[in-house]
Amino acid sequence: LYLRGRHTMTSFPAKGRFLANRAVQYFEQAIEKDSNYAIAYAGIADTLLAVDRNMGAAAAPTTFPRAKAAAEKAAELDPMLSEAQSALASVRAREYAWQDAERGFRRAIELNSNNALARLGLGASVLVEQGRFEEGLEEAGRAEALDPLSPYVNTEFGRALLMAGHFEEAVDQLRRAIALDPSRTTPYTLMGRALYLQGKTAEALTVFEDSSERGVPPGGPVWQACAEVRAGRRDRALGVLQKQLGAGMQARDLAHTYACLGDADHALEYLEISFEERDGGLAQILQAPELAWMRSNPRFAALRQKLNLAP
């Protein structure tokens, strides 16, 4: 039952967000058979954290509290379980308690040096998001070496490379992720970003079109406006914005688009809404290369400070 839960989550969210509910059900059935089965609680925590991260404000308000409770239960039942320490560290990262999260992931790795998700969490979710790029890439790279056939691990390693400014390497990495599972939209979006950040806007727009054919939200790829602006097509970027507003896109996605349009006031307005909504992906957004031009803005700096990030 535990393995079924983990296997089900390999297709989340590409093949439907309902899969997370199914995965949780498998983990809960395992716990029904053994109430002390710590690793199943860790599975629930990881699953709910993935929902929280991917759905942001659209996730049920109980999602993160349930994830935290499950992670704490796993660690209570078996403090020597690597997966339990990793889940708890992911919770602390979600709470922007970066030092606690780093200690937790390192403890998980100490308990099991082959825990790819712990290495990925340390590298991509803690070190890279704090701007400690080289350390973060080293750990994310180790995660990919441990689990080279995981589309998720390959995608997140590609994201880490992009965040660190290694755009060409990110494109290569994301092509590997797509080859492993062409149904996922995230690698296409990330690859489009890595391309336009190199000035390859025509290629980026082609990638976004490919992504659109694979069922992205009605507002289109969330970073498409950046490619349109960089291609000198501001009118099309404004069209993307109107679609996103009409589709009720999340605050963080609207913040992306306004930032790409050079509208700092509206971008900050939606970033602040995202903070109030406790969006799990906010730290990642504030570290995005596309928003680097806003670093000197006092409101942007204040928001980073609230997340315990360096200015």
SS3 call for 181: coil
**Neighbour count for residue 235 (Cβ, 10 Å):** 8
- Distance of alpha carbon 225 from alpha carbon 13, whole angstroms: 23
pLDDT, residue 15, reads: 67
Sequence-distant (6+) residues with CB within 8 A of 272 are 299, 303
Question: Exposure pattern of 45-76 as b/e (b: 16+ CB <10 Å)?
Answer: bbbbbbbbbbbbbebeeebbebbbbbbbbbbe
pLDDT of 217 higher than 60: no
pLDDT, residue 111, reads: 98
pTM of the predicted structure, to 2 decimals: 0.93
What are the start-end ranges of the H helices in 81-150? 82-94, 98-111, 116-120, 133-146
Q: What is the pLDDT of residues 134-160, one digit of tens each?
A: 999 999 999 999 999 999 999 999 999
Count helices and strands (H / E) in the chain: 18, 0
Q: What is the pLDDT of residues 21-67, one digit of tens each?
A: 999 999 999 999 999 999 999 999 999 999 988 877 777 889 999 99
Q: What is the pLDDT of residues 55-95, one digit of tens each?
A: 777 778 899 999 999 999 999 999 999 999 999 999 999 99
Give the mean model confidence (pLDDT) for residues 4-16.
Answer: 83
pLDDT of 5 higher than 80: yes
Q: What is the pLDDT of residues 149-192, one digit of tens each?
A: 999 999 999 999 999 999 999 999 999 999 999 888 889 999 99
